[in-house]
Amino acid sequence: MQSPIQGSKAAITIVVMAAALMAMIDISIVNVALSDIRASFGTPIDQIGWVSTGYMMANIVVIPMTGWLQRRFGFRRYFSVSVLIFTIASALCGLAWSLPSLVVFRILQGMGGGAIIPTSQGILFARYPRAQHGMAAALFGLGAITGPLLGPTIGGYMIDSASWHWIFLVNVPIGLTVAFVIPRVLKEPGFVPDKAKIDAVGIGLLAVGMASLQYVLEEGNREGWTESTLVMVLGAVAAIALITFIVHELEHPNPVVDLRVFKSRSYSAGTGLNFLLGLAVFGASYLFSLYCGAVMHYAALDIGRIFLLAGLSQIFLMPLIGKLANRVDARYMLVFGVTMTTLSQWYAGHLTAEAGFYDLVFPNLIRSLGLVFIFIPVSVAALSDLPLNQRGNATGLFNLTRELGGSLGTAWMGKVVADGIATHSARLSEHISLYDPTTQEQWRSLVQRGMDPAANLMGRVTRQSMVLSFEDGFGITMLAIALGIVMVMLLKRPQGAQAIPADAH
């Protein structure tokens, strides 16, 4: 059984937050640099996506294994080594000489980053007493939610002022500092390594299944869900490997991922809501970024400014909600958060091509407010009442569901937009006829202004079909997030202070 963590709470919090924020920013910061990286290496546009795909495949394989690795090596050693791997890989990414070398180094970076995120949350929950788990969740949330918001803005400024290499090199001094400090401030005096036989079959099935699934989710839109033989084969591989993995883990005496934690109703419901949270953070952000670029023709830096302005409120609200999390019934806060996040998608679905800058900021501001009221209470409700020896494993699975929600949401929204543009364009084109009086009037007007009437009218059709397809996407995210109310209803009523477990300190 894991022993509680000791050491300066303030020092541990600072270094853990620095590492978590660094890892979370790195997930989104690279997206604004893809065009520059492609130009630097002369890479075809259909291959540059591997810079993101390679990282996420490694990331999503490591996350569910963190509980087992923590039990085997301890928080201090595992976290320090993970940060060091991430830092070395970041330096290598910044020095990469070709696309293949960059992809290899990104995979290595993803292995470190995948360990940092759930381990950071596990350390904070282990170091803070049960009564302060709301604040621990708030501190972790500052990195988990604001990281993806800050990434595009920071990346845009770095690329404008220097080059894409610095989005990776900036991690080096931060990572080295954290790797040096954490062994000196974090103590595990009673830690006893788990020496149980390694579940090699489980690790193999997990690696093959999760990597295949992530590839399918990342590349399905680019290569075609049913047109690509590789996507279809890997989809089948993922299904077979993961189903076999679940059966194997439930039967194995020392599983690499203990799925029995889902026997806790609150944990299962909280994990389901966390999946929807991932969809809201990553899927909706991806959809909105596409809208700003494709419909509004905003540059990457301007899109980053929208997310930054909308997300600033989270920095101030996180500590406040953290204090309230252990005093107010989490279910009330979650209902408010789900309602606000759902409302934000409804508002985004009613945007037009003539929307102004602050019209675009407003729905994201509402979404940011709603996410704060979801992230902290759901973390406390799902994780706090679990025994300490289950929490490391549970934290890994909890973070995995958010990552999967984001990957699925991104892939799903990409398909919705692509299919919607084709469908709406065909419908709108049916209404353009030279025999229609309205079309004739617009045609004459365009000719009088010296414009090409055919090209102009088709341009209008394309733009309006894009608006309608994004409206479909925002409607789907609205309904998906609204399902969170069902998950909230499944959560158990929180117990009083007297129910706090003795080992949760």
Closest CA to 127 of 69, 199, 79: 79
CA distances from 435 to 194, 307, 365, 441 (A): 79, 45, 46, 11
Q: Which domain holds residue 320?
A: 260-505
User: 196, 213, 240 — which closes off a domain?
Assistant: 196
Let me know whether 344 and 306 are in one domain.
yes
Distances (CA, A) of 373 to 123, 137, 143, 168, 199: 22, 11, 15, 32, 38
Burial of 132 (0-12, 13-18, 19+ CB in 10 A): buried
- Say if residues 32 and 304 touch (Cβ distance below 8 Å): yes
Both 308 and 426 in one domain: the answer is yes
Q: Which residue(s) pair with 6 in the sheet?
A: 187
Give the Cα separation of 121 and 18 in Å (integer). Answer: 12
Render pLDDT for 299-334 as a digit per residue (tens, 0 to 9): 767 777 887 788 777 777 877 887 777 778 888 889
pLDDT at site 505: 36
Tokens, residue 303: 């899109």
Could you report the per-residue pLDDT of 249-289, keeping only the tens digit for each? 888 888 888 888 888 888 888 888 888 888 877 778 778 87
The mean pLDDT of 351-367, rounded to a whole number, is 88
Kindly state whether residues 8 and 73 are assigned to the same domain.
yes
Residues 165 and 275 occupy one common structural domain: no
pTM: 0.76
Domain boundary, last residue among 196, 221, 236: 196
Give the end of a domain, one of 211, 228, 253: 253
* Residue 253 burial by Cβ neighbours in a 10 Å radius (0-12, 13-18, 19+): exposed
Q: In whole numbers, what is the pLDDT of the chain averaged over residues?
A: 80
Phi, psi torsion values for 8, nearest 5 degrees: -55, 120
- Per the structure, the count of domains in the chain is 3
**Chain-centre distance of CA 1, in angstroms?**
30
User: 345 with 94: CB under 8 angstroms?
Assistant: no
For residue 166, which of 315, 29, 44 has the smallest C-alpha distance?
Answer: 29
What value does the mean pLDDT take over residues 429-456? 59
What tokens does 216 get? Answer: 């399918």
- Confidence bin at 443 (pLDDT 50/70/90): low
For residue 379, what is the domain's CATH number? 1.20.1250.20
Q: What are phi and psi of 74, to 5 degrees?
A: 90, 155
Over residues 35-61, mean pLDDT: 76
| Same-domain check for residues 17 and 127 | yes
Model confidence at 339: pLDDT above 90: yes
Query: 431-437 contacts: CB < 8 A, separation 24 or more?
Result: 432/457, 432/461
Same domain (yes/no): 107, 238: no
Domain check: are 27 and 143 in the same one?
A: yes
